Amino acid sequence: MPSYEFLCKECKKTFTIIMTLAEYEKGRFTCPKCKSKKVEQKMATFFAVTSKKS
């Protein structure tokens, strides 16, 4: 499952939520600390792990 990183505009806390794509598309995100709905998604880093064949 993908993880999404958010920043709360009220308490300035950064948090990560792991959810399915269907849950993400509903767009119901709240801050776990202050329960505010004023959150914005941060740009996430992405990396791929591959195996090297010899």
16 located within any domain: yes
Query: Structure pTM?
Result: 0.70
| Structural domain count, the chain | 1
| Angstrom distance (rounded) from CA 30 to CA 46 | 23
Residue 16 has a pLDDT of 92
Please give the average per-residue pLDDT across 16-27, as a whole number: 90
51 located within any domain: no
Tens of pLDDT, residue by residue over 24-36, are: 899 888 999 999 9
Name the average pLDDT for the chain: 87
Cβ neighbors of 1 (< 8 A, separation 6 or more) are 18, 19, 20
Q: Could you tell me the residue range of the domain that residue 28 belongs to?
A: 3-41
Please give the average per-residue pLDDT across 5-32, as a whole number: 92
50 located within any domain: no
